[in-house]
Structure 1
Amino acid sequence: MFFFSQHRRRVAFTLVELLVTIAIIGLLIALLLPAVQAAREAARRIQCTNNLKQLGLAFQNYHDTWQKFPAGGISYGLCCNTPSYESWTISLLPYLEQQPLAARYNFNAYNEAPENKFVREHKTQNYTCPSELEPNILLKPESGPGNTMEYRTGTYRGVGGKSDGTGWWSIYQDYVTLPMDWRGVLHVVDGRELTYEGIANVTDGTSNTWLVGEYSTKSTPRRRTFWAYTYRSYNRSDCTNQPRTLWNDYTRCVTQGGPGMELACAHGWGSFHPGIINFLLVDGSVRPVQTNIDMNIFADVATISGGENRQVP
């Protein structure tokens, strides 16, 4: 005779238990995800800082070799569709262990020339912050003689100088309205008044003068930084006292309006690091600049000989 227990062992979850378990897992994910994202961004920010430090070392080695810094860009014509030659990013390639890439660039031809297509489209990590939303993609810039051809995006821009919105240090015709003492290290070299700068010209102090900063935007992709595009405001910018020029949103900056109108936004700065933008100083150090910085100090630190006696925050 067989006897069966009236109490069977339960082996499955009830619906309520399953829902509770799912809710707990969802809560844990919600709690952990921000921490994971923060850790990833911290790692990206460290890599971005290291990229800028490598650029600082490359600038120093370039200066040791040539007794001057590279030009922010070389352009011998007036605004606005003038073809250009090399930019600071291309000049630095041999000092970033990129000699083979530099050898592919024809320094006697325009930046937009067919023979420079390989360099224009080349993907390099040296000039890209890993926090970019879509790093190292090919796009056509919004303006200039290269706006019909593809360039590889980047992040880092040379500091041309200080501006009040009436002119810019990226091309000859614009800067004539600005005091010469407002120029930075990486302005245009044009065969006229503006020529190469050396450390001796940085009388405001190498630890108090911007050299390179970040520019990223979450809108208007064709207004991003293009690492190998020399023309105007695509791999160098200026510093103004307008807070909107530190936004990582070109369209919002233009909509806000202000001195210099959309050109102030085109010559702006921005990053996807929460609350900060990384800047390289002439002495090779890197500073995380708060986006709520005193904008007058920010603009003054862009000059090499303005005599403002500003200390970098």
Structure 2
Amino acid sequence: MNRAGSTYRSRTGAARSEIVVAFGLVVVVAGLVLPTVQAARADAARVQCRDNLRQLGTGFLEFEKVQNGFPARRLKNPKSGWGAELLPHIGQAELAKAYSFRYDWFDPVNKATSETVVKAFVCPASPKDRALTCSDVASPGSRNTDRTTKFSAKGAPSDFVAANGFKVPATGYGINWPYPTGAADNNQHQAMIDDAHLPVNRITDGLSCTVLVIEQAGRPQKWVNGTRGRGAGDDEANGNARGLWAGYGAIPFHPVDRADGTSPGRGDTTDCVVNCNNQHSVYGFHAGGAHVLFCDGSVRFVGENLDGRTFALLVTRDDGEALGTNDY
């Protein structure tokens, strides 16, 4: 009896030991496999993000052929942006038919359309659930005659933004820099302009040397050096909101201090324009860099060491200094 009981206990103990060993092996294997799986997912998200931006690039070129110029970066009265203008050229014909430029993007007429997520405007590496509810009264040019009621729409996100000028640090970028320092309004030389379609012959630096749209992912959330900040950054919760494909599609670009990700750039090697701040320059949730769309429809992955002066030259359409891909 005792021998039988002893045998039972030894078998039970052995079985428990085998379970512990097996569990340990599972943990070890999982520890080895998980980073590989995570890396594969990150690579897939990066590729899809690039492909989405390429689709937008094709849409821009098709738009230019029809309209003899690139879309307006923003339409101010009624309020809208390049995202809405691009819809029929990126496989969104039905949404395009439903959208009316005679009303603001947040107007009840456009509410359902503006709240529709469009895959081409989203980078899958970005945080989810980022729609921003915006409220505003109708613009003076809107066909909606109600000028007192605040209309609301929970706009669908866009991870891609155009430039509304370039703010050069007060110290400038050397004696050969062709434009003023200071406010972005002093440097309105980007590939898209307000309320009009810029002809490509005004992009004298060359289409392959001039930035059209950058990845500025994570909006309307604010992200600094990989950490989410408080609030919604520069995005006002009104009709001027950025980070939404139907809303204003542009914001001033400028470098920031690499150390804190928030202080204005100083025009030296401490400047950062990639993955330091998603309110002012290039920002992606990818290791080592983010994507940029050029006026010829090409998409390039730019690294985190891109300097402020080179970025400013790439954004500027007519500075006279054409850059090749080996320059950055």
TM-score (normalised: structure 2): 0.72
Equivalent residue, structure 2, for 1:257: 263
Give 1:73 shift: 0.4
2:115 to 118, 121, 136: 121
User: Is the aligned partner of 1:303 residue 2:316?
Assistant: yes
- Equivalences for residues 1-313 of structure 1 within 5 A: 10=11, 13-75=14-76, 84-134=78-128, 137-140=130-133, 149-164=153-168, 177-180=185-188, 183-189=189-195, 195-215=196-216, 216=218, 217=223, 218-220=228-230, 222-223=232-233, 225-230=243-248, 235-242=249-256, 244=258, 253=261, 256-258=262-264, 266-312=279-325, 313=328
After superposition, the C-alpha distances for 1:18-74 in whole angstroms (9 at most, x for unaligned) are 323222211111111111011011111111111111111111111111111110001
After superposition, the C-alpha distances for 1:198-238 in whole angstroms (9 at most, x for unaligned) are 211111111111111111234446347222122xxxx3234
Give 1:10 shift: 4.6
Q: For structure 1, list consecutive stretches of 5 or more residues without a partner in the other structure.
A: 77-83, 167-173, 190-194
TM-score (normalised: structure 1): 0.76
Q: Secondary structure at the match of 1:268?
A: coil
Give 1:285 shift: 0.7
Separation in 1 of the partners of 2:133 and 2:284?
21
Instruction: Check the 8 A contact 2:166/2:184 in 1, yes or no.
Output: no
Q: Secondary structure at the match of 2:287?
A: coil
Indicate how the Cα distance of structure 1 residues 288 and 108 shifts in structure 2: closer, same or farther if over 3 A, else same.
same
Indicate how the Cα distance of structure 1 residues 96 and 66 shifts in structure 2: closer, same or farther if over 3 A, else same.
same
More strand by share: 2
Equivalent residue, structure 2, for 1:192: none
Aligned length: 272
Alpha-carbon RMSD: 3.2
Q: For structure 2, list consecutive stretches of 5 or more residues without a partner in the other structure.
A: 139-149, 171-181, 236-242, 267-276
Give 1:86 shift: 2.4
After superposition, the C-alpha distances for 1:138-181 in whole angstroms (9 at most, x for unaligned) are 32259998895421122111233422268xxxxxxx9784144x
Indicate how the Cα distance of structure 1 residues 117 and 143 shifts in structure 2: closer, same or farther if over 3 A, else same.
closer
Indicate how the Cα distance of structure 1 residues 37 and 117 shifts in structure 2: closer, same or farther if over 3 A, else same.
same
Indicate how the Cα distance of structure 1 residues 16 and 57 shifts in structure 2: closer, same or farther if over 3 A, else same.
same
Q: Secondary structure at the match of 1:42?
A: helix
Separation in 2 of the partners of 1:304 and 1:24?
58
